[in-house]
Amino acid sequence: MLSLQCLPPFFISVPNRSTNSCSTAPLRATSDFAASPSTPISRRLILLRHAHSSWDDISLRDHDRPLTKTGQADAAKVAQILSSLGWLPQLILSSDATRTRETLKSMQAQVDEFMEANVHFIPSFYSIAAMDGQTAEHLQNIISKYSTPDISTIMCMGHNKGWEEAASMLSGASVKLKTCNAALLQAFGNSWEEAFALSGPGGWKLEGLVAPDSSICV
């Protein structure tokens, strides 16, 4: 595990409930867990809200709004931070909205490994995020549909309010996700279905929050 001193400058670590000091960084790689038949495997879930989008063209549907230049730059920064932390997804499940597609495009342009991930655009990610309290269960269903046991890290890209609600519901913490913020969650299971079943609501560990413009440790 990384020590706090090794953290790159944009990582917000999660507070230890029993102390005022900062927690350590997220676990860097699945090799940190020597899996055996009796040892559940680490499952790491990145919940990323899209980067900042433009409202300049009022003729566009909300679904079709593009990123701003700031949004493009922020997406590239977050990709680099995730790479530095070793949180590189093997599977990416994304809303099909223009702003999430362009967020991913900027991340792929910055870090080659994001090009290597298997990507699926999920139209329902756009609509479900607007529905109260339904996103976490929907994410679980979609992840179970597209994942395989060999995949250890998945990134889901979408929208508020659903992404904040899902991160909060899964972790049991109050999570706020500004544009291009990511919640890093971890659970254990021999499959993703088992990880969800064993952890239940509130049982995923919130390893940290990643933002493009913050050096705050809380």
**Measured distance between the N- and C-terminal CA atoms of the chain, rounded to whole angstroms:** 18
Binding-site residues for substrate: 99
Strands (E) located in the chain: 11-13, 41-49, 91-95, 118-122, 153-158, 182-189, 205-210
From the list 78, 59, 46, 66, the residue with the least C-alpha distance to 158 is 46
pLDDT for 136? 96
Contact 209, 184 (CB under 8 A): yes
Binding-site residues: 99
Name the average pLDDT for the chain.
85
Segment 102-139, tens digit of pLDDT: 999 999 999 999 999 999 999 999 999 988 889 999 99
pTM: 0.83
pLDDT band at 38 (very low <50, low <70, confident <90, very high): low
* 155 residue type, one letter: M
pLDDT for 24? 35
